[in-house]
Amino acid sequence: MPIHILAQGIFEGISTVPFAWTALKVIPCLAIVYLLKRFFNGVVNTSERNMHSKVIMMTGATSGIGAEVAKDLASRGAQLVLLTQQPLGDPFFVDFIMDMRTQTGNELITAESVDLTSLHSIRKFATKWVDNAPPRRLDMIILCANVRTPSGGKASSTEDGLELTWGLNYMANFHLLSILSPALRAQPPDRDVRIIFGTCSSYMGGTLPDFDVAPGSKSKSKSKKNSRLASAPIAFTPGEVYATSKLALMTFAIAFQKHLSSYARPDKNPMNSRVLIVDPGWSRTPGMRRFLSFGSLWGLALYLIMWPFWWLVLKSPDQGAQTFLYAAMEAQYGRGPGGVFLKECREFKYMKPEIEDEDIQKKLWETSEATVQSLEKEGAQRRANEKKAEENGNPKEKKTAESNGLPKQRKGK
């Protein structure tokens, strides 16, 4: 049939074939759309690895890219430990876990209740994990949890008083890994241990604070930029704080690799934990939808109107998960020094020199550690005051105790 139609078009003219001119106009357009979609979808992971018996801890695994990464790894037989701030008895969360077990045919999917916006909650979970004897198996940590305040949105705070984006994207990961470090170092020498950080290309717009100037003091430099950083070490506009949180996370990731590599194992074997940093690309995740819609109803309506465009230029969550899966399964990253930056399933160089600056890494670590210690002391005092007020049965005293601590403003995801 196609040969006869083609022959008719050649010998008798295109106009003699029904709808021929329409097809000649539509087919090139469809071909262009197809090629653009293939381009924006990015690279597909082709690495394979036996994930059976591997214990993988994940944050941000209940939606978006994290959920797709978790589903793929679970379907390969990995044992997942999902860290979630939702109550473990929540019926919707229970259904989510049961559905994932059914879809992947894997019953080894569990969850731990950890509120990443609470330093106290992170410490309770992490110390419990580390204190286990003998040390629990831990083959991989994948950090997918992420939050971004839409442009024009009102910044919210964690219960410790940190700006939410900064607190969850950076400080939570710093605190979690700082405590879990002994559990990573205790893994047997023949085990391939990987810590995978999720980042974003917006890190290139981030600016780390001037660590040489104490917060609130005046900068000696005449530069307005340095003065602003000195008086306000962490930017609080949504775009700046998000980019800065990703830049700080990547800088900490390299420092954490050095921290692990410097450990002298009692068995004299080399350290087997390696840090990998992954940029999944722009994807149609709930967070991206909220960002593009400015967190408003009219913005959501505009997003829906423009959905064909977003479908074309943004990856699906499954496509965004491919570089995470590549980092988790590519054999070459089980060896080598670590600290590799991956995008589109291949290595890239860091575009910000401060990421690899040892002096900045050290100052960022020390500043973050001091911040955590200070906030945890204040939080412990606040909880002690609240407990005392409850024991005394004095609601007025309890209210006063709460007001003396840091505000409990939170969420806003």
Side-chain-facing half-sphere of 6: CA atoms under 13 Å: 3
pLDDT at 105: 94
pLDDT at 337: 84
pLDDT at 396: 55
pLDDT at 345: 94
C-beta of residue 111 within 8 angstroms of C-beta of residue 97: yes
User: How many angstroms separate the Cα of 215 from the Cα of each of 170, 247, 336, 406, 412?
Assistant: 19, 19, 39, 18, 26
| CA pair distance 12, 16, nearest whole angstrom | 7
| CA pair distance 198, 246, nearest whole angstrom | 9
pLDDT at 238: 62
* 355: phi then psi, degrees, rounded to nearest 5: -60, -35
Name residue 22's amino acid.
Answer: T
The first and second tokens of residue 220, run together, are 């000696």
Each residue's pLDDT tens digit, 101-116: 999 999 999 999 999 9
Q: Is 246 a catalytic residue?
A: yes
> Running DSSP on this structure, what letter comes out for residue 283?
B
168-180 b/e (C-beta count within 10 Å ≥ 16 → b): bbbbbbbbbbbbb
Cβ neighbours of residue 394 under 8 Å, at least 6 residues apart? none
Nearest to 197 by CA among 244, 155, 147, 252: 252
| CA pair distance 38, 387, nearest whole angstrom | 58
pLDDT at 21: 63
| CA pair distance 179, 406, nearest whole angstrom | 23
pLDDT at 114: 94
Neighbouring CB atoms inside 10 A of 374's CB total 11
pLDDT at 216: 38
Q: Which helix (H) or strand (E) holds 10?
A: helix 2-12
User: How many angstroms separate the Cα of 20 from the Cα of each of 15, 24, 77, 382?
Assistant: 7, 6, 52, 76
| CA pair distance 145, 132, nearest whole angstrom | 25
Cβ neighbours of residue 180 under 8 Å, at least 6 residues apart? 126, 129, 130, 138, 141
C-beta of residue 56 within 8 angstroms of C-beta of residue 73: yes
pLDDT at 201: 92
pLDDT at 411: 40
The first and second tokens of residue 274, run together, are 């390696």
Active-site annotation holder among 54, 71, 246, 398:
246
Low-confidence ranges of the chain (pLDDT < 50): 214-233, 401, 405-413
pLDDT at 204: 92
Neighbouring CB atoms inside 10 A of 368's CB total 18
Residue 318 class from Cβ within 10 Å (0-12 exposed, 13-18 middle, 19+ buried)? middle
| CA pair distance 379, 324, nearest whole angstrom | 35
Chain CA centroid to CA 374, Å: 25
Can you give 326-390 as a three-state secondary structure string? HHHHCHHHHCCCCCEEEECCEEECCCCHHHHCHHHHHHHHHHHHHHHHHHHHHHHHHHHHHHHHH
